[in-house]
Structure 1
């Protein structure tokens, strides 16, 4: 009794430091190996037996204990706290109540369905349970069926290892086999849980079982570690803010980088995140007079620009004919490399509605600036080229690139550029200039380019 009490105390002490769980749907199988004791005394029968539960813990006088491995059981979790267990045991009987008997062989084969009370007591380590079942027991060559009722505890040291203590009353259906108690102690090993992606979340509860993730997101990943799982993150590979569904706002102006034409400089939402130092409604990047307020029609300058070439009439040597600043407002026959580069800077800033060929409102000043440059070179012919990233079907990307290129061409024609000077073509996802695996790379690949035709 003293040794049993010590074992019980150690089990409780170890279990109090554990945060493991009972046998459940994640580890549905368990094997228990240990020892058992058989007691014929406290079963409510005549002498040499006693009343029910009388001297229940009298291990010295009444318990038959085989000092070796004497019980093995296999368990399978069913559902909602229920577990089925098949158990086999052996023993040697030399005590029958208050009497002694010759060494008799004892064999038992039993099955039970048990119900865990772990959730009831709100514990993560101590797992009491009740069980009911039946079996067949032999004492020497005498055997009979029994109806069994069990009460026990599992003390889980780790997620897969625990100590099992159980007491079972076995009521015999035949007079020639006495009813009795069988007590057992053993170690339980749980197994059978599957975690395909190795993220610590079992497949049964893993919303992304083939992709390593985080427990907080039911096993789904958060690639950029911004606290928003990838499936809900509009920018899953770039850390961002919850208010923007995981997309960044580097300059803190309230405009997401992917929609911000000036992502490194704080600006205005109305101007796609670009600043307007003079407050005239023309973004500094396209404002010919960024420090002096002027109307949009004058490209942000307070003075007129009759030919719309960006050179104010006061400085324009050809005020009625669109030209270039480099040529004092007079037209050049062929645009320079710098001019073509400037056109492409504008072209790549054109913003389309997602998946469409329609322009976002803030794109109009950019397109107007391009019109001005095209008018400066009335003899030059250009090709408008559309490109997309690799997301979506290839055929859809090809069609979208063609529609966007034609949308830019149509705008230029509608604003006074000769249709004969312009061609449009789409190249879909075939000519990337950046890595399509990153959000920033895909943003660069979604573009319009302008080529000078020889």
Structure 2
């Protein structure tokens, strides 16, 4: 049995060495090498939760069997989420074997007995990636004292103290409960050095994959293993122009003309321009790029190709806004002339002289001259609108006078529109005898009341 135990230990050492080059992204392999101490006083023979369990746990002088040389080794493989699987072996020399069945204050002295153990463990680490790395574990194995062996179930607590990413101190204590009466349940404590290994560098850039943000592409340590193809100090993943050296302020893109607009967004990349115009120049500052400006040295609106709008009639209203571009007007009237009170008065003086056949709406021929004068005035104000109004005296019935006034107003309107005045500018209305301007008691007054007026629509 001794030879078998030693063979198992030798196989474990070979296994550890052969896997020292195991490859995985997370450096998963850990080898623990150290010394162990075996303590069977008291180990709970009175029951796992008896009052004597763990009594004098730290009394190393009286109860611990310590083999100070290399006496334990464990190789473990990280599984993920804090769990790892380990296999280990240990040897020791037993000279003190605690016995609580007869006298708790005594310790059985024994001859040098060989102690061999081969154990498996599943560990859970609470604080991965920290300097202080505590863990717990459960497992089982087989333990021999000389030629007597038995299976055990083990519970373990431990602590890794990492000095660097790969090397640390490990302290561990296991409770090993034997399945057979002839092998007493006991504690096994260990202390030693742990080494983590097995990381790979797929892209060969000197940065292990576990730390390499770009494990399949060679890169720089400054960028966690990611490349900077154009060498501008900005890693490719953050570089909007990874193949052209550029500036950090433009996410790695160049600005050839130095106008503050990166070339990729600059419509005129070789000529300094304005950001508002996508990097193109605007010599006259009218908001139209020189390439699109028909008058690049004179400011003008984009709607007119960068050239200023003309004011043909010189009335201060640009032709584009001037409703009467060929006639000088006022700004208030959109470039058209305004009808003054004097013009309005003149219109009505002319209109009063329009003559009709007695009792009819037909205009007498001699009124054509004055109607021509009225047309000239109306054409001077092409956007103004007017109402032709008819009035009568009080002779005759109201209904007859109303009908006559309407007919005469309409007759004048139709004459004017028939001689060049736009129809949309004129309307007509009759007031009958209801709006006299003089007395109807005299012939002169009645003559004044029989009239046509042309009034501006305001």
Sort the TM-score into its range (normalised by shorter chain): 0.5 to 0.7
Indicate conservation of the 8 Å contact 1:127/1:153, yes or no.
yes
The residue aligned with 1:213 is 219
The residue aligned with 1:31 is 31
Measured at CA, do residues 170 and 278 of structure 1 come closer, stay the same or move farther in structure 2, by a change above 3 Å? same
Q: 2 CA distance for matches of 1:84 and 1:103?
A: 33
Q: 2 CA distance for matches of 1:194 and 1:134?
A: 32
Q: 1 CA distance for matches of 2:25 and 2:150?
A: 35
Measured at CA, do residues 281 and 50 of structure 1 come closer, stay the same or move farther in structure 2, by a change above 3 Å? closer
Q: Which moved more, 1:57-66 or 1:211-220?
A: 211-220
Provide the secondary structure at the position in 2 that maps to 1:68: strand
The residue aligned with 1:155 is 161
Residues 60-83 of structure 1, C-alpha deviations (whole Å, 9 max, x = no match): 110101131111111111111111
Give 1:178 shift: 0.4
Give 1:155 shift: 0.9
Q: Give ranges in structure 2 of 5+ residues lacking alignment.
A: 1-23, 99-106, 309-458
Q: Which has the larger radius of gyration?
A: 2
CA RMSD of aligned residues (A): 3.7
Residues 219-247 of structure 1, C-alpha deviations (whole Å, 9 max, x = no match): 43244576764245331134556785542
1:129 correspondence with 2:124: no
Q: 2 CA distance for matches of 1:146 and 1:298?
A: 97
1:65 correspondence with 2:71: no
The residue aligned with 1:278 is 284
The residue aligned with 2:333 is none
Measured at CA, do residues 69 and 224 of structure 1 come closer, stay the same or move farther in structure 2, by a change above 3 Å? same
TM-score, normalised to structure 2, is: 0.52
Give 1:294 shift: 7.0
Measured at CA, do residues 289 and 91 of structure 1 come closer, stay the same or move farther in structure 2, by a change above 3 Å? same
Partner residue of 1:108 out of 110, 114, 117? 117
Residues 170-206 of structure 1, C-alpha deviations (whole Å, 9 max, x = no match): 0011110000000111111111111223456543574
The residue aligned with 1:143 is 149
Residues 7-31 of structure 1, C-alpha deviations (whole Å, 9 max, x = no match): xxxxxxxxxxxxxxxxx96111111
Q: 2 CA distance for matches of 1:272 and 1:44?
A: 84
1:76 correspondence with 2:62: no
Measured at CA, do residues 277 and 57 of structure 1 come closer, stay the same or move farther in structure 2, by a change above 3 Å? same
Q: 2 CA distance for matches of 1:199 and 1:126?
A: 30
The residue aligned with 1:92 is 93
Q: 2 CA distance for matches of 1:280 and 1:253?
A: 18
Q: 2 CA distance for matches of 1:234 and 1:254?
A: 16
Q: 1 CA distance for matches of 2:29 and 2:237?
A: 33
Q: Give ranges in structure 1 of 5+ residues lacking alignment.
A: 1-23, 303-454
